[in-house]
Structure 1
Amino acid sequence: MDLSVVIPLLNEQDSLTELHDWIVRVMKSNHFSYEILFIDDGSTDKSWDTITQLSAKDPNVKGIRFLKNFGKSQALHAGFDEAQGDVIITMDADLQDSPDEIPELYQMIKQEGFDLVSGWKKKRYDSVIAKNLPSKLFNWAARKTSGVKLHDFNCGLKAYNIDVVKNIDVNGEMHRYIPVLSKNAGFTNIGEKVVQHQARKYGETKFGIDRFIHGFLDLITIWFLSRFARRPMHLFGALGVIMFTIGFAFSAYLGIDKLYFNPFGRLITQRPQFYIALATMIIGTQFFVAGFLGELILRNRPDKQRYFIKQTLNLK
């Protein structure tokens, strides 16, 4: 199979039929073999009814319905797990991503050898204050932190070699950082393509200030995980040793000063430096123990189910 199109969605009933028909036209005109995977992330409208109708008339349509809203990352994880195409395309269900971009994205993976190609919505139709400016700030921070030189991490339109999606773990809210996860997994040939952005035709945007805040918190998480996920002791242990050494040096200084230079002066416990030294050694010990516990947890981590599927369609 040439292509798998993975589409996570939440309450997008009005756009699904139009999006499906548009994708089918593109696939047929380019003679692709394909599947369309709709991942219903706990919609409360009639999105699943629409997916059911589409799958009944088109065997290339497959569906996964979550029991409740688990988030876009979990939806993508489920889609990646089921995808069978040589190239995986992800796109949003709100018609702001154009399926006409699919053939060129496919060629960039198959012919030019990219592991991942991310869309860049250079010209946007979103609100400047509500989304454009926060996105620019977020993308700048993500580039500086991750070292992945993309202009638009948040663009839902991306193409992947199948090896990429089968070897990365998209969890939490890390869908924004799939290029970073791919780089950390060893898939470093990451490209970018300017894609058409369309104004939302139906419904309302799911973007809010909470997503902006969560994005930056996740950025800190991905920075930490990319460097210390497999070796937490390297961070916490190093901080612990440094802090403990500073505290111990302070204590040694106070002891030497008391014994040799000021034996009849104030007691050590009456000097504020004593409590600074004590606190620093305690904090250093805690950092070291945190690193040690992190290593233990990492080596004994059980695999856990992160989402629960209510229904599936046309899946083997």
Structure 2
Amino acid sequence: MEEIGFQPLGRRIGVSSIKQAKPGVPSWLAFVVEFISNALPRDPAGNWEHLHIGAYETACELLVKLGCAIDNGTGAIPVAEPKLPEVTPRWDDVATLVVWVAAQSGYIGFRHFPGARSRPIAAGLAPANVRAAHGCGPGYLADEAFPAFQSLGLILGGSWTAVAETVLWRDNPKEWGLDFTSDRRFLRARDLAVATVPEGIAEKIKQHAEIREEQIVEWLELAHSAPGISRNRHDALKSLQFWSEHILDGIFETNWRLADGWLSPTESQRGLGLRFDPLAISMRMAFAERYLPKYPHLWRC
């Protein structure tokens, strides 16, 4: 990280030095590290804290992967001499994380499309400074976040870019009322996912899709071992189905991306732990309806 101008322990990054970065260093890296470093909460010692908040947990994970910090269980400790790894995390995951961190920290706010019927009165809200474009609605972005968003190619000339659209699907702002599950790109990705499931992934999916009788019996035995708790077979089935959905969501969040389909093991390792990704969850449901029709708990809302 020294070669791109990163200054550790809370000092600002010299963004201009990115021009001298050696080949292979992503142009967004210094901007993203600076934004996340400033957005994350810190403890009195100056260490980053994730507070068990998903976006912040993944932000700490990114700083560790980029050689800027050491994981300490409750966040990340800045290192004295950051060193950039040979392989950096995936751009799409980094871009998604920046959106999530901005939303969590109050640096971004989404606004309704002009003319929307359910559009509320925007009293007290900062006016939009990012124009609607490419299927994305208007939004407000704080000055502190602009460099990171621009470096990632999400904003250009005060408008969302084309590549921002599918990144923002992974945040799915309720103000925009998006339905990307009917988009041809989503449907094409679903068909490809069904047709090309790797053998190892297919085994995991089928293992966790089926709710077996012995699982129900084990669940009930465990529930009844606690005094004062009464549970029945229906309770067991609902609980096991919930965890089945949760595990399959994790498979998609780790091993699948819209643009690339099923990831290779190497690409999966480059990914970030973005849990409860609306796009991955929607793809799990669409995939399961085709691939696992006899397990409706995986595809019915």
TM-score normalized with structure 2 length: 0.28
Structure with more strand by fraction? 1
Q: Which has the larger radius of gyration?
A: 1
TM-score normalized with structure 1 length: 0.27
Greater relative contact order: 1 or 2 (C-alpha under 8 angstroms, separation 6 or more)? 1
